[in-house]
Structure 1
Amino acid sequence: MDAAEALASLGGVAARGEILALVTEGALRRAVTDGSVLRRARGRYALPAAPRIGERAELRELAEAGRRAAHELSGTAILLSAAARWGWPTKWVPTRPQVAVPRNRRVPSLAKRGIDVRMRDIPSGDREDGWVTTRVRTALDCAGLLPADEAIAVLDSALREGAVERDELLLGAARLPPRYRRKAEDRIRRASPLAANPFESVLRWIVSDIPGLTLDPQVHISDEEGLIGIVDLADRGLRLVLEADSFAWHGDRAALERDCIRYNRLIAQGWLVLRFSWDQVMHHPERVRALVIRTVQQGYLRVRRPLPDGYAT
C-alpha cells in the first residue's frame, strides 16, 4: 500500500499520524513530492481534488491566452489569467485576458477590445517567465482586487496547491497599500486549503458571517457502522451540514444509491443536511443565505440553545 492508497482508505483527508500508522514517513514524503498526496495544512493531508471534466484543458487555454496577450502588449498577465497559469480553479473565467502594463504606456484602442488592460507597474521581482505574476503576487492581487467570493475561491485554490503558505501571503499583504491591506489580510485569514473546489469556496463565503454559524470544511462524520462520509461544510454544534451538490456526482444509479444511503445515515445520526446546486450558489446567493439563516435559527431551537444576537424571537 502506498501513501495515496492509505489516504484513500482513510476517506481522502487525514492527519499525519493516521497515515503513518499505515505507511512509512518516506512513502508519505515521496507521495507529497510527486503530487499524489497534497499537504493542505500543518499535519493534514488530502488526495488531489478530481478536476471537473475539461477543467485542466480550460485552464491551459486561459493561461495561453494570457501569455499571448502579455507578449502582445509587452505587459504582465495578472489576476485570473495569472491564476490560470498556476492551475488554480476560480469561480469565473475571464472573458478577456487580464494584463497589466506600465502606467505611462499607451495602448491601442483595438487591443483594448480583446484584452482587459490594467494600468499598473509590476516589479520584475513579482514576475515569472517574463510575462506572468508570481504565485504570491497573483494571490495577493486577487485577495485585494477581486470581489470577496472570487478572491476566496482563488485563495483556497492557492493554499490547496501547497505552493504558497498563509503566513507568506500575510507577510506580503502587510506591504500592500493601506486601501487594499485590510481587505486582503481578512480574506487570506478566511481562506482554507481544505476547500475542495471553487463551488464549495463560494458557498462557504456566502454564509461565513451568519451569526451563530461555525462551519468547518471537509468534515469526517461517522456512526456505529463506520465512516458515513466527508461532508463539504459542517457545524458540529448545530449538527448542520451544507453540501455543494454537483450534477456529475449523481450521474448513475450506483452513485444515486450511495448518496441516498449516505444522506439517510446522516439524518439518522441527528444531522440536518442542506444541499445546494451550482446555479443556486453562483447565481442566487441571497436565497442560499436566507435559507441557511432560517435553518440556523431552527437549529438553535432544536438543540435548545439561546439564539445569538441578530435573530428575531
Structure 2
Amino acid sequence: MKAAPALERLGGVASTQALLRLTNRRQIRRAARQRSIIKVARGRYALPTAQAARAAAVALSGVVCLRSAAAHHGWELKTQPELPEVAINPRRHLPRGRRADVRVAWMNVAEDDVVAGVTTPMKTVLDCARHLPFDEALAIADSALRSGSVTRAEMDSAQVRGAGAAAVRRVLAHADARAANPFESVLRALCIEAGLDVVPQQAIDLTTGTVHPDLVCVIRRLVLEADSWSFHATRKAHRRDCVRYNLLTIHGWRVLRFTWEQVMHEQAYVRWVLRLIVTGRVEQDEVPQAARLSA
C-alpha cells in the first residue's frame, strides 16, 4: 500500500512503526519527497490536511475549524476533510469564487476560542460534536482525550447550549481515551447507536491470562474486535489470536469481529449484526448484501 492511503487509514497521523505495518520505508520516503505526507516530528508523520487548511484560512482571513482543526491538533480522524474547513463570520460577504476550494463553516468564533488562527482543542471538540455525524465526532473526541489536549474534567464541565446541544452532550458523555484509534471509536459509536453498553479495553480474566478486547459488553458477555489485518501479519500473531478467541468462547463469551472496511464503509452490515444481537431477530429483506455468503 502507498504511504498516503496507509496514513489515512490510520487516522491521518501515525508513528513510523505504525505506518510500517501497512507500507514500507521506500513508500514512506517517496511520499515524503512528494509532500503527500509530512514528517511532523522524529518518527511521526501526518497528512498535509492541517497545512492546507492553515493556508486557506489565512487567505480568507478565517479560522481553521472542525476536522481541519482536529488534524492541526495532531488528532486521528475517521475521515480527512475533502476540502480545508474554515470558519467565517456569518456577517461577512465572501464571493463564491473565493471559497470554491474551501468548505466554509459560517459561524462566530470568540477570540478566546482561537489560538494562532485555529480553534482551541476544546472548541474543536465541541464544534465537531455539533456539526459532524456521531461516529466521526466520537472518534475526534476520543483522540483529543488520548492526546491529552483535552481533559475529562473539561468535557464534564463544558456548558453546552443552542442548536445541536443534545448531540454535543452525547459525544462528551461517551468520549473515552481508552479507544486505541478511530477504527475502534467508530465501531463503538455504532454499538452505542444500537443500544449496546460497551467498554473499551475491558480486562477479562481467562484463568490462563488476562485479555483486553477492543470492546466488551459485560451484561451480554459479548466481545467485539476491530480486526485489522495489519496486526495479524505474522504466524505468531495469528496463533496468539486463535488461542485468545478460543479461550473467550470456552469461558462463555461471544466474539464478533469486524474489518476496517466493514466499520468504515459497510456500516449497514455492522448495524444489521448489532441489531440482530440486541433484538434477536431481523427481517429477511433487511439482510444487507455484505451479509450474504456467495454460493
TM-score, with normalisation over the residues of structure 2?
A: 0.76
Counterpart position of 1:181: 165
Q: Which residue of 1 aligns with 2:212?
A: 230
Superposition RMSD on alpha carbons, in Å? 2.1
Asked whether the 8 Å contact 1:281–1:288 carries over to 2, the reply is yes
- Once the two structures are overlaid, the 10-residue window that deviates more, 214-223 or 274-283, is 214-223
- 1:41 corresponds in structure 2 to none
Q: Report if aligned partners of 2:223, 2:256 keep a CA contact under 8 Å in 1.
A: yes
Q: Verify: 1:254 aligned to 2:236, yes or no.
A: yes
Tell me, what secondary structure is at the counterpart of 1:84?
helix
Report which stretch shifted further, 275-284 or 254-263: 254-263
Distance 2:152 2:18 in 1: 23
Residue in structure 2 matching 1:167, options 143, 153, 161: 153
Q: Report the AA paired with residue 185 of structure 1.
A: R
Letter in 1 for 2:173: R
Structure 2 residue 224 is the aligned partner of structure 1 residue 242: yes
Partner of 1:214: 197
Counterpart residue type for residue 183 of structure 1: A
The answer (yes or no) to whether the contact 1:173–1:181 under 8 Å persists in 2 is: no
SS in 2 for 1:237: helix
Counterpart selection for 1:125 from 105, 112, 126 = 112
Asked if structure 1 preserves the Cα contact closer than 8 Å seen for 2:50 and 2:72, the reply is yes
Distance of aligned partners of 1:51 and 1:169 in 2 relative to their CA distance in 1, 3 Å threshold = farther
User: Does structure 2 retain, via aligned residues, the 8 Å contact 1:244–1:278?
Assistant: yes
Quickly say closer, same or farther: Cα 1:247–1:73, change in 2 above 3 A: same
Question: What displacement does 1:172 show?
Answer: 3.2
Q: Distance in 2 between matches of 1:171 and 1:62?
A: 30
Give the whole-Å Cα distance in 1 for the aligned partners of 2:91 and 2:197: 47
**Deviation of residue 156 (structure 1)?**
0.9
Q: Quote the residue 1:107 is aligned against.
A: 94
Given that 2:135 and 2:186 are in contact with CA atoms closer than 8 Å, whether structure 1 keeps it comes out as yes
- Cross-structure match for 1:291: 273
1:122 shift after superposition? 1.5
User: What secondary structure sits across from 1:57 in the alignment?
Assistant: strand
Please state whether the residue corresponding to 2:154 is helix, strand or coil.
helix
1:166–1:189 CA contact under 8 A, matched in 2: no
Q: Percent identity at matched positions? A: 41
Secondary structure in 1 aligned to 2:75?
coil
Contact 2:145/2:177, CA 8 A, preserved across alignment: yes
Tell me: CA distance 1:297–1:146, structure 2 relative to 1, closer, same or farther (3 Å).
closer
State the match for 2:133 in structure 1: 147
Give the Å deviation of 1:52.
Answer: 4.8
Give how far 1:70 is off. 1.0
Q: Is the 8 A contact 1:91 1:198 kept in 2?
A: yes
Q: Residue 83 of structure 1 is aligned with which of 70, 74, 95?
A: 70
Q: Report the residue type matching 2:45 in the other structure.
A: A
Answer yes or no: is the 8 Å Cα contact 1:78–1:138 preserved in 2.
yes
Distance 2:270 2:276 in 1: 10
* Alpha-carbon spacing, 1:140–1:106, altered in 2? closer, same or farther (3 Å): same
Query: One-letter code of the match for 2:70?
Result: A
**Contact 2:191–2:197 (CA<8 Å) still a contact in 1?**
no
| Distance 1:133-1:205 versus aligned 2 partners, 3 A rule | same
**d(CA) in 2 for partners of 1:193, 1:51:** 19
Of the candidates 99, 116, 120, which is equivalent to residue 103 of structure 2? 116
Shift of 1:259: 1.4
Distance verdict in 2 for CA 1:297–1:119, change over 3 Å = closer
Task: Render the CA deviation track for 1:248-276: whole Å, top value 9, x for unaligned.
Answer: 01122222122112211211222111000
Quote the residue 2:53 is aligned against. Answer: 66
Out of 93-102 and 115-124, give the one that drifted further: 115-124
Q: Give the distance between the partners of 1:209 and 1:141, measured in 2 at CA.
A: 20
The runs of at least 4 consecutive aligned structure 1 residues that moved more than 4 Å come to 50-56
- Tell whether 2:120 aligns with 1:134: yes
- Structure 1-normalised TM-score? 0.72
- Distance in 2 separating the partners of 1:284 and 1:219: 26
1:100 partner SS: strand
For structure 1, the 5+ residue unaligned runs are 1-47, 299-313
For structure 2, the 5+ residue unaligned runs are 1-14, 21-27, 29-36, 38-43, 281-295
Q: SS of the residue aligned with 1:114?
A: coil
**DSSP 3-state at the match of 1:243:** strand
Alignment partners' CA distance in 2, 1:241 and 1:162: 27
